[in-house]
Structure 1
Amino acid sequence: MITTDSPLTSLKTGRWFKLICGASYQHLPSVRHLALAYTLAGADCIDVAADPAVIKATLEAIALCADLGNQARRRGFGYRGRPWLMVSLNDGEDPHFRKAEFEATACPSHCPRPCESICPAGAIAFSDLQAGVIDELCYGCGRCIPVCPSNLIRARSYVFTPEAVAPLIFQTGVDAIEIHTQSDREADFRRLWNHIQPWIHQLKAIAISCPNSPDLIDYLWSLHQLITPLPSTTALIWQTDGRPMSGDIGSGTTRASIQLSQKVLSAQLPGYVQLAGGTNDYTVAKLRSLKLLPDEGTEKNSTSPKVAGVAYGSYARTLLSPIWESLESPNQESDPLEMSKITQLETQADLLWKAVNLASSLVAQIKGF
């Protein structure tokens, strides 16, 4: 299907699809593969870590799609052109901005290593080459921490330092930012906002992500007052982070995000409401059954608030994991000259279009094609 809808049109019509690569996910080949596959499948936005190397890898993938777009359309995929590139920032400690760590030499020899099997990113390994957490693969879900029989695993958190990093990020040409905050951190949010405000005019969207709390709505209204007026060309998105980094666990994880979206919708804040945190392939069907998405082709009605879109993180990444395993396990008889290209998804046509097909199975749910 050929579509020329812009990301902004997708927001207005409730067809917005965002891929979350992960605020702490810095494995460059995987980020590049994900951006390539989901862009060709019709994603509106690619959300990545505020890391210049990650941003560069994502932009390379998006640029490749300009050459592959016609092929994608001929194959029936919903490639619509360049998606918005978003980077995630935080104003304080946040589970999205952390890494697991432990000293592998301290692990008992008889340990069954449940951390290795539970890690959805394959970020924990015990081998002669590497033992412990593979830092660039870890995106901070924290599932390994409670299962360690010896309580050896801890989380290492970090906070975005805007005065040092903001110039590097905004000069790369990002289209949007997402700020992760919590309802007791207005002063921290204000400090971050003051540092990034000089660049706001060049952004197409600002997303604010906040978990549920008793005083959430009051907090969001206070943030709205703080950041307005925004440029007329900058969309405001409220991200309902229901159950962070859990969409790959099971169908029930989407419930918290939908309930939180209903809470935020009822407040009728100016801007768009977008789900995240526990979203998976049950989310759109549930939204439709609750009549929380606009009718196809119509813009959201202010008298009947609707969800503008859905962001997918762990589920979207896990969905394509069989493709990455195939890329990393080439035929042993392959030509050595070709082996150097094995990490470039676009050089493996069969795997590329299998990846796009899998990505499209998720994107198409909200796009309707």
Structure 2
Amino acid sequence: MNNLLAPLQSLTKGNWFKLICGASFQHLPTVRSLTIAYTLAGADCIDVSADPAVIAAVQEALQVAKSLTSDAQERGFNYKGNLPFLMVSLNDGEDPHFRKAEFDQTQCPQTCPRPCEKICPAQAIIFNRTKDNFSGVESQKCYGCGRCLPICPYDIIYTKSYISTPTAIAPLVISTGVDALEIHTKVGRLAEFQQLWQVISPWAAQLKLLAISCPDGEGLIEYLQSIYNLISPQSQQIIWQTDGRPMSGDIGDGTTLATVKLGQKVLAANLPGYVQLAGGTNRYTVAKLKAMGLLNSADQAGTNRHYIAGVAYGSYARVLISPIIEQLETKEVNPNNLKANIHLEEEPELLWQAVELAHSLVSQIKSQQER
């Protein structure tokens, strides 16, 4: 199989796996490590912030993963050297995926128990960091989940949202070889979506894949149909990403129910393209899809389209690998280590532990066609 076609083949089979690094997550060492681990585990797509530094880090990581193909195979992983699609995200309006938490640490009382620090899944909230005495939100690590907002006893944490600028993204796609684009939208924002699309459309045809991410809302199907009517002249494949409970997959197994339900709703509409789950996805998602008969069985691969084509994992996938990343960061601050950053591939034991963890998640949906 042509390496460039492998991810699209996964969509057709119904065993597509996407890693969501985060539309506003810009911590380069973590993005790099996640990309290597999940690529070697067999991911089909890496979804990242539309940030030049993040894109460059991912592209470097993809080549590192490809160079480790033989090592992965020797260790029993079914990685064939295929590179996943590199996807970047844009938004047509305010969206929780495109925001950062902030607070003024001077307003934080010394007696505060700091529940924000404990609840942050990205470990982005820090108090009195040793090396620079920093307190506050480490912006590059924050991906906008908002869990710190209601838990602050003094209500001093707030968020700043932003809308990505498509005119700045277009040169990135043209010059850096981004394969896919995801547009985050909401029901009722067709005019805003159209304005964004007018900027994107001249260069969108060169993409291999276009994803539309939208949460539920009254008139959802009609809204998605209007979007399809607007973008349908383009030739790339289309994914409808059902964003059930955004950035909640690591909270508990039950969070997946919202995205499965939403996936069923969009699937029943028979829109052209593929339906892929996101938002609340975790270890329970594939089991739930299997139990409900929503995955394509191995003996029917490619013969019908009335199935969930894939699953995207964000917070759950990142938290799954976080123990390895924490160990890597611990090595970096070793006073005897003169190197600022240690790359995951430089620590083979940690590398293959990370790949094993990633594979435990990727293999859930891949086993649909590999058994």
Which category of TM-score, normalised to the shorter sequence, fits these structures? over 0.9
Q: Does the aligned pair in 2 maintain the 1:300–1:308 contact within 8 Å?
A: no
Change (3 A) 1:163 1:331: closer
Count of residue correspondences: 363
The answer on 1:89 being equivalent to 2:90 is yes
Deviation sequence 1:5-34 (CA, Å, 0-9, x none): 700110001110000000000000000000
Residue in structure 2 matched with residue 26 of structure 1 by the alignment? 26
Residue in structure 1 matched with residue 47 of structure 2 by the alignment? 47
Deviation sequence 1:296-345 (CA, Å, 0-9, x none): 1633554x610000000000000001101111112987853xx5175200
1:109 CA displacement: 1.5
Residue in structure 2 matched with residue 197 of structure 1 by the alignment? 201
1:93 CA displacement: 0.3
- Counterpart secondary structure, 1:93: coil
- Counterpart secondary structure, 2:280: coil
Deviation sequence 1:45-104 (CA, Å, 0-9, x none): 000000010000000000111210111122111323111000011000000000000101
Residue in structure 2 matched with residue 60 of structure 1 by the alignment? 60
Residue in structure 2 matched with residue 354 of structure 1 by the alignment? 353
Q: Which runs of 4+ in 1 moved over 3 A?
A: 2-5, 297-302, 331-336
Matched AA of 1:296: A
The answer on 1:139 being equivalent to 2:143 is yes
Which residue, out of 154, 160, 164, partners 2:168? Answer: 164
Matched AA of 1:141: C
Residue in structure 2 matched with residue 76 of structure 1 by the alignment? 76
Identity %: 59
For structure 1, which segment, 341-350 or 220-229, has the greater mean C-alpha deviation from structure 2 after superposition? 341-350
For structure 1, which segment, 164-173 or 72-81, has the greater mean C-alpha deviation from structure 2 after superposition? 164-173
- Counterpart secondary structure, 1:237: strand
- Counterpart secondary structure, 2:363: helix
Residue in structure 2 matched with residue 366 of structure 1 by the alignment? 365
Q: Does the aligned pair in 1 maintain the 2:332–2:342 contact within 8 Å?
A: no
CA distance in 1, matches of 2:92, 2:47: 17
Alignment of 1:12-23 (within 5 A): 12-23=12-23
Residue in structure 2 matched with residue 245 of structure 1 by the alignment? 247
- Counterpart secondary structure, 1:320: helix
Q: Does the aligned pair in 2 maintain the 1:342–1:348 contact within 8 Å?
A: no
Q: Which runs of 5+ in 1 are unaligned?
A: none
Alignment of 1:179-218 (within 5 A): 179-218=183-222
Residue in structure 2 matched with residue 35 of structure 1 by the alignment? 35
Q: Does the aligned pair in 2 maintain the 1:31–1:58 contact within 8 Å?
A: yes
CA distance in 2, matches of 1:332, 1:192: 43
Residue in structure 2 matched with residue 102 of structure 1 by the alignment? 103
Deviation sequence 1:214-236 (CA, Å, 0-9, x none): 210000000000001221xx110
Matched AA of 2:96: P
The answer on 1:153 being equivalent to 2:152 is no
- Counterpart secondary structure, 2:47: strand
CA distance in 2, matches of 1:82, 1:367: 16
Q: Does the aligned pair in 2 maintain the 1:13–1:297 contact within 8 Å?
A: no
Change (3 A) 1:299 1:149: same
For structure 1, which segment, 83-92 or 123-132, has the greater mean C-alpha deviation from structure 2 after superposition? 123-132
Which residue, out of 154, 178, 182, partners 2:182? Answer: 178
Q: Does the aligned pair in 1 maintain the 2:332–2:339 contact within 8 Å?
A: no
Change (3 A) 1:301 1:268: farther
Given the two structures, how large is their TM-score scaled by the length of structure 2?
A: 0.94
- Quote the RMSD (CA, aligned, Å): 1.8
Q: Does the aligned pair in 2 maintain the 1:261–1:273 contact within 8 Å?
A: yes
The answer on 1:328 being equivalent to 2:329 is yes
- Counterpart secondary structure, 1:207: strand
- Counterpart secondary structure, 1:6: helix
Q: Does the aligned pair in 2 maintain the 1:43–1:79 contact within 8 Å?
A: no
The answer on 1:294 being equivalent to 2:293 is no
Q: Which runs of 5+ in 2 are unaligned?
A: none
Residue in structure 1 matched with residue 257 of structure 2 by the alignment? 255
Q: Does the aligned pair in 2 maintain the 1:272–1:308 contact within 8 Å?
A: yes
Q: Does the aligned pair in 2 maintain the 1:300–1:306 contact within 8 Å?
A: no
CA distance in 1, matches of 2:136, 2:245: 26
1:358 CA displacement: 0.3
